[in-house]
Amino acid sequence: MNDGEGGPPAGAARAKTGVIVALDAPNADEAEELVFKLGGEAEWVKIGLELFCAEGPQVVRRFAAGGGPQPGATADAARVTPERAGTARVMPERAGTARVMPERAGTARVMLDLKLHDIPNTVARAIQRASHLGAELVTVHAAGGKAMLEAAAEAAKACPPPRPRVLAVTLLTSMTEDDLSDIGCPGRPAEVALQRARLAEAAGCDGVVTSPHEASAIREQAREGFIIVTPGVRPAGTAAQDQRRVSTPRGAKDAGADFIVVGRPITRAEDPRAALRAIAAELED
């Protein structure tokens, strides 16, 4: 990972936009089943609140790339890792077959999306723990204020390499102008997101998580290497569901996103790997 000031993780800086697959699953077994269906084609995965609360911090270690096969292991070698002392588990793939699943899937780079929002010292310590787990991208909430954002950024920079990158969530993609008014934050979502992105950059954060609708304005004003991750991405013709400020993968790329986060259009597709490939192809055009 690049450990200079600012900039994306090593391998993240790219001319093309990367896809982060949201592992929106109720437990690690189902998340692992999804990763299996993706056939190793997901470079990045996002672990959010549901999965983290269900499984605890160990779920990050389980999916972080550092938990994968050791050098020299063959690609088709079966890997059995004890889930608990003296045990191993076998997960059924389909009726009549079984496959061995490791405790650590070790297949991807992890974005830990907990949107940390607490007093500065608590958030700083949480960033340090996330680093030990192997998360390469960690989210905090920009609404936590400058002192909290600075504490998060400083804690990340003090972590041993490879250190995590801190991304400030500007505004939830489900929120509208009416929602902002309800919480005493009047203004248009685009204005609030841009203001919070400026705050995050000034506080030393490595980037932001923001709607594709605000990404272009943030890209125009941000420093080189500032990471922009856009959730709320839906392929053309798919339902927005509980998202409000959404875009297509191509629209997010054109707005300046370094990464897009895609969940249900991939995870609930009949063929998740085909869905991921189709989105990647759209980004390549």
Whose tokens are 């059924």? That residue is 92
Nearby residues of 234 by Cβ (< 8 Å), 6 or more positions away: 240, 243, 246, 247, 248, 265
What angle (nearest 5°) sits at the alpha carbon of residue 1, between those of residues 283 and 165?
Answer: 75
The SS3 assignment for 260 reads strand
Q: Annotated catalytic residue: which of 115, 146, 157, 253?
A: 115
The answer, yes or no, to whether the previous bond of 82 is cis (omega within 30 of 0) is no
Name which of 143, 194, 142 is nearest 168 in CA terms. Answer: 142
Is 115 catalytic? The answer is yes
Distance CA 201, CA 216 (A): 15
Signed CA dihedral, 7, 12, 13, 18: sign only: negative
**Beta bridge mates, 166:** 138
Catalytic positions: 115
